[in-house]
Structures are given as structure tokens and as C-alpha cells.
Amino acid sequence: MQIGIMGSGLTAQTIGSKLVSLGHEVMLGSREEAKPSTVAWAKEEGGQHALYGTFMNAAAFGEIIFNCTMGSASLAALNQAGVENLSGKVLIDTANPIDRTTDRWTLTVSNTDSLAEQIQRSFPETRVVKTLNTVNANVMVDPAKLLERTHVFVSGNDIEAKAVVVRILRDWFGWKEIIDLGGIETARSVEMYVLLWHNLRNAISSQRFNIKVVTSG
Amino acid sequence: MQIGIMGSGLTAQTIGSKLVSLGHEVMLGSREEAKPSTVAWAKEEGGQHALYGTFMNAAAFGEIIFNCTMGSASLAALNQAGVENLSGKVLIDTANPIDRTTDRWTLTVSNTDSLAEQIQRSFPETRVVKTLNTVNANVMVDPAKLLERTHVFVSGNDIEAKAVVVRILRDWFGWKEIIDLGGIETARSVEMYVLLWHNLRNAISSQRFNIKVVTSG
């Protein structure tokens, strides 16, 4: 498939490389047509399956779109991508609306709204599914790295789009335990969880972890 | 020990009964001196170890205090308890600042502040430790109910108070995996996690669950 990835950072590159390794054609999009980091990524990947371009180029290219921009920049990036290039497509939103201007993370939107809802409202014809934002990039594409099976969550209004994303998570990335939280408004809870992720990272001095939901049987 | 519990609901009664069963003297406090639910609890427990009274009575009685009121009522309850009855004591804050006026939970304080911080600021001489708010009352006092060992978190500024609480969690309630998240400001993250708890409860149709932090070893 042709996949468009909004973003040029670690998450975009990690997901991009994983998808290229699976045989997909991937275009990383950024504000500039040839951002040094995306050019370097494409060169490192080699071949004709790793491409780069503007947000608009990547959105037009992708049959499925990943949002891997920083949450504070996501809406601007998607606006540059253009509503016509996103319409009807599944948009997998992995971003977190974190204000990183201070050591103590806070969210730029939370509690009564979320980034995923803002995106869904701004692009009503796009099928937004929130997922993967609760883990580090390396865990996103290789959950088997962890000592036990852990959980990942999906939130979205479009049942078929969620089914597409569940197959991607399972068949491409190797997730075995996927919980459907409900509509796109449940993205609030996974975005708000990120502050606990941040404190856990500090407490255990590692980014390679995730949570497993344990019941009483 | 003498333990004062602020609150008369399920969490207060469940923790109260557990502490009575361990041989402690417990007083449940509420707005009224003889609230029907606390009177019934004391009668059911029998003996002279299960007591009830006002918030002020329970706070004066306790060497250690549990806050098991609803988060939206916690500050009012603690103000009624009286600063002189809380000063110098360890206050174990299990409450969540949930606005339950709609089906979709939101928090009354979050992101840049938390209930635990509000309590600590209002009662600077009290040694506030946030914990147990991430699980249902039944799991709080019996984590072995779950199929695997899961994690509980502590947040607080007073190292010695946290050590006291860690011993209570371990020796009285049976928690084996306790993560110190840091200062009282880290309570924001566990309070904000509660929205994910709520969505998970709906997704798995059970309140008896908790999360386990899984690393890469």
C-alpha cells in the first residue's frame, strides 16, 4: 500500500521504516519539501519505497495516513496537507498534545476535549482513529520487545476504520491485545494517560514499557 | 492503631472493614454525627473497633487519616475536620475529582493542578500522600484478587510519610508492586488516569482490574 506519514521525527521515521520493511511505499511529509531529517531517512532506507515531501505531498500519496507530528503542531500540519487529500481516508492519530515548554508536561487540550476530537471536527470527512499514543515509537511497531503482552487502545467514530486499524496493529505491528474504547471522545482518556506515562518513564528510567490490563478472571 | 476515615461510601467502608479485620480501631467520619450508612456499617462490623462520627471526630480520632470522600467534596470535608486535627498527620488521599453530573466523566481539576495538590496547599502541615485512587475499592484492600501482580502508585512531598504509606499498602493491604512517582504534583497523572480507568471499565464490563507496568527487562 501507499502510506502517507505526517511528521519527520522519531515516531514518523520508526513507523515509516517498519512499513517499508513490510513492503509498503511510504512518504514522510513535513513543512519543507526536502527537510534534512526526511531526506536522510529516505537515503538510509534506500530503494524507491522510502519517499519524502511536503505534508500535502504525503497526504495526497497515502491511501492511509499516520499523524506522527507533535500534537501542538498537528492541526497546522493537517491544514497544510489539505482537506481534499485527507477526505475519506483513515487517519491514524498517534500524537499527544503535550506542552513541552516546561519540564513538567501539561496538555494543550484535555478533560473536555482532545486533539483527536479537534482533528475529527476539523476534517469531518476523514476517518480518525486514535491509537499508539500511549507507547514509545519503538514499542509501537514491536510490542513483542516487552516481557509480556501489553494492551493498546483504539478510539474512533467509524467502526470500519477502526477495523482497518486493528488489522494494521495486529498484522503489521504485532499487537495481540487491542481494546476498543469507543468513540473518538474516548481519545481524551488515552491522551490524558500520557502524563502517567511520563512519570512512569521518570520513575523506571526507561521508555520501553507499556501497561497490561489485568482482571480478576 | 487508631485510623480516621473521611467518608461514608463504598471506599470508606471497604477500607474501614479491612482495617478493623486487621485489629485497628477505625472511625468513619461524615457530615452528620450519625449518618445512617456509617451507623449501619459500625453495627455490621460489631465490636468496639468500628466507630462513626463527624469529619471532625474521625480526624481527631485518627493517628493516620484516609480521605475516602468524593473528590468534589474532599476540601469541604477536610475543612470541617479542622486543620488542628490533621496537622502533622499522614493523610492518605484516595479520592478522584470527578464531575459525575454527566455520563461522560470529566475532572473538576486537572492538567495544571490536582485534588491532592489542593489538599496539600490547604493543609501545609499535613503529610499528604496520593495513592489507591487508580483502583476500585475491592482491589484497594485485596490486590491478590487479580490474576497477576499489578502496580499501585504513591505521590507525595514527604519521604517519611510515603514510607509509612508504602508499609500500609504492603503489610496491611498486600500490594507487592508499588511505584513512587515523586512529589505531590505527580498526583495529577494518576488522577487524570481515572478517565482511562472509566473507559476500560466500560470496555471490559468489570470494575475489578488494574494495570501492570511491563518493561523490556
Query: What are the b/e assignments for B37-60, b being 16+ CB within 10 Å?
Result: bbbebbeebeeebbbbbbbbbbbb
Question: By CA distance, what is A186's nearest residue in B?
Answer: B199
Instruction: Determine the Cα–Cα distance for residues B215 and A210; give it in Å rounded to an integer.
Output: 7
Which residues in chain A are contacts of B112 at CB distance < 8 A?
106
B142 interfaces chain A, CB cutoff of 8 Å? no
Alpha-carbon distance A81 to B26, whole Å? 62
In the block, cell 502517567 appears at A196
Model-wide pTM > 0.80: yes
The pLDDT of residue A12 is 98
**Contact (CB, 8 A) for B11 and B41:** no
Write the CA distances from B205 to A86, A93, A175, A215, B198, integer angstroms: 35, 26, 22, 11, 10
Residue in chain A nearest B202 by alpha carbon: A181
Q: What pLDDT shows up at residue A18?
A: 98
Q: Does B205 touch chain A (CB under 8 A)?
A: no
DSSP string of A124-162, one letter each residue:
TTSEEEEESTTS-HHHHT-GGGSSS--EEEEEES-HHHH
| Model pLDDT, residue A192 | 98
DSSP string, B2-29: EEEEE--SHHHHHHHHHHHHTT-EEEEE
pLDDT for res A117? 98
Query: What is the arithmetic mean of pLDDT over B110-137?
Result: 98
pLDDT tens sequence across A100-151: 887 789 999 999 999 999 999 999 999 999 999 999 999 999 999 999 999 9
CA-based nearest residue to A10, from A216, A210, A207, A215? A207
SS3 assignment for A11-30: HHHHHHHHHHHCCCEEEEEE
Nearest to A132 by CA among A91, A101, A104, A160: A91
Is this prediction's ipTM beyond 0.90? yes
B47, pLDDT greater than 90: no
Q: Reduce the DSSP state of residue A106 to 3 states and report it.
A: strand
Contacting residues of A for B153, CB less than 8 Å apart? 196
Nearest CA in chain A to B149: A214
Q: Are B81 and B107 in contact (CB under 8 A)?
A: no
Residue A186: list chain B partners with CB under 8 A.
Answer: 199
Beta bridge partners of A26: A3, A50
* Average pLDDT over all residues of chain B: 97
Distance from the Cα of B16 to chain A's closest Cα (Å) equals: 22
Element (H, E) at A72: helix A71-81
Confidence label for B104 from pLDDT (cuts 50, 70 and 90) = confident
> In chain B, which ranges are E strands?
2-6, 25-30, 50-54, 64-67, 90-93, 98-99, 106-107, 127-130, 151-156, 177-182, 209-215
For B5-41, write each residue's pLDDT tens digit. 999 999 999 999 999 999 999 999 999 999 999 999 9
- pLDDT value of residue A28: 98
3-state secondary structure of A89: coil
What is the C-alpha separation between B97 and B115, in angstroms, rounded?
A: 6
Distance from CA of B38 to the nearest CA of A (A): 29
User: With an 8 Å Cβ cutoff, are B145 and A216 in contact?
Assistant: yes
B160-198 pLDDT, tens per residue? 999 999 999 999 999 999 999 999 999 999 999 999 999
Confidence band of B102 (pLDDT split at 50, 70, 90): confident
Query: What is the per-residue pLDDT for B132?
Result: 98
Overall average pLDDT of the B68-78 stretch:
97
pLDDT at A47: 81
pLDDT > 70: percent of chain B:
100
Contacts of B203 in chain A (CB under 8 A): 179-182
**pLDDT surpasses 90 at A200:** yes
